[in-house]
Amino acid sequence: MMKQDIAMGLVRVTEAAALCSAKYMGRGDKIAADQAAVDGMEKAFSMLPVRGTVVIGEGELDNAPMLYIGQKLGIGQDDMVEMDIAVDPLDGTALIAKGLPNAIAVVAMGPKGSLLHAPDMYMKKIAVGAGAKGAININKSNKDNIINVAMALNKDVSEVTVIVQERERHEDIIKDAREVGARVKLFSEGDIAAVLACGFEDTGIDIMIGTGGAPEGVIAAAAIKCMGGDMQAKLVHQNEEEIERCKTMGIKDINKVLYINDLVKSDDVYFAATGITDCDLLKGVVYSKNNWGTTHSVVMRSKTGTIRFINAHHQLLKSNLVV
């Protein structure tokens, strides 16, 4: 299979998840919305000519019925290169249930062993686009990082926008950003979409700082690597059980700084995302008459640096899956 066909195949996977899940926007049922996204994504993967294994999915070590860690995806012929696959069919389950922005369907893929097997725990993250690559240091203060990013982008600090999840644990980040004079954009959920927005100048977002899910951090790192940006992270364990979980997943030093090449080891990874509800970067799914749906997606490959935005119109089947 040609490499560009792999990229287009992956975006069909996220489109399927988005089209199935978006029907539940604002209906107050995040479980049904998530299940619809999982169903759509798994069926689309069953038709994709790749040989993949889920390393980040809906559940750890077979603890989910579909898209679980260890599940084989794709047609899977023996002559195909084995791939790691990280999926989040619906990042932002509460968002879709409430009809709020920033819900997306995402998938990342790279050669076997290329994606960090991140356990389901917290991860401290800092991310920027290509213009500020090399300007961040997760061990420095929030203020130092914001000032250094401003210098790298040749901006006044008052022109820098920091995106932060609105949580009590992030009050110090918000306080530091305001004290240094930066602009602050808060979001409720969906930190993959927030990190993704850092990679594009026209979103107006320059840096993401915060603590969120570790699996989402690895998926976001794949996007940042494709865009030539930079990301650093640290796992945040809260108890002995999480320490043991890290060891089970093959992570020996849980206190080390994880650089972009630790999170995503290969220089040839793919990332695809489709908006479910409107985001800073992507428009959400729109349904129109006569069973048509419109999606807005981005698909990238780190080796070539190619980034494609795809507006697609789909004729829908009764099953909610694309033709």
- Crossing angle of the two packed helices 191-198 and 214-226, in degrees rounded to 10: 20
- 200 with 280, same domain? no
Q: Are residues 41 and 127 in the same domain?
A: no
User: Does residue 134 sit in the same domain as residue 239?
Assistant: yes
Residue 79, annotated as binding a ligand: no
Q: Which residue has the tokens 């061990």?
A: 139
CATH number at residue 51: 3.30.540.10
Looking at residue 286, the DSSP 8-state letter turns out to be E
**Residue 91 labelled as part of a binding site:** yes
- CA end-to-end distance (rounded Å), the chain: 21
Tell whether 235 and 283 lie within a shared domain: no
156 is in an annotated binding site: no
259 with 274, same domain: the answer is no
**5 marked as binding residue:** no
- pLDDT tier, 194 (very low <50, low <70, confident <90, very high otherwise): very high
Across all residues in the chain, what is the average pLDDT? 91
> Dihedral of CA 239/241/244/249: which sign?
negative
Instruction: Evaluate if residue 3 carries a pLDDT over 70.
Output: no
141 and 256 fall within a common domain: yes
- Distance (Å, whole) CA 81 – CA 116: 18
Domains held by the chain: number: 2
Residues 20, 109 within the same domain: yes
Q: Give tens-digit pLDDT for 250-305.
A: 788 888 999 999 999 999 999 999 999 999 999 999 999 888 999 999 999 999 99
User: For 285-316, b where at least 16 C-beta lie within 10 A, e where not — what string?
Assistant: beeeeeeebebbbbbbbbeeeebeebeeebeb
Residues 198-257: tens digit of each pLDDT = 999 999 999 999 999 999 999 999 999 999 999 999 999 888 888 888 888 778 888 899
CATH classification at residue 172: 3.40.190.90
If asked whether residues 40 and 17 sit together in one domain, one would say yes
Determine the Cα–Cα distance for residues 72 and 293; give it in Å rounded to an integer.
29
pLDDT at 238: 86
State which residues form the domain around 184: 122-263
Q: Could you tell me the CA-to-CA distances from 236 to 164, 211, 216 in Å, in that order? A: 17, 8, 14
Cα 161 to chain centroid distance, Å, stands at: 20
Tell me whether residue 108 is in a domain.
Answer: yes
Indicate the residue among 230, 246, 263 that finishes a domain.
263
Residue 179 annotated as binding?
A: no
Residue that finishes a domain, picked among 229, 244, 263: 263
Q: Are residues 59 and 110 in the same domain?
A: yes
Final residue before a domain boundary, out of 220, 235, 263 = 263
Indicate whether 323 belongs to any domain. Answer: no
Concatenated DSSP letters of 59-126: SSTT-SSSS-TT-EES---TTSPEEEEEEEEEE-HHHHHHT-S--EEEEEEEETT-B----SSEEEEE
pLDDT tens digit string along 4-32? 578 899 999 999 999 999 999 999 999 99
Q: Are residues 211 and 133 in the same domain?
A: yes
Answer whether residue 321 shows pLDDT above 60.
Answer: no
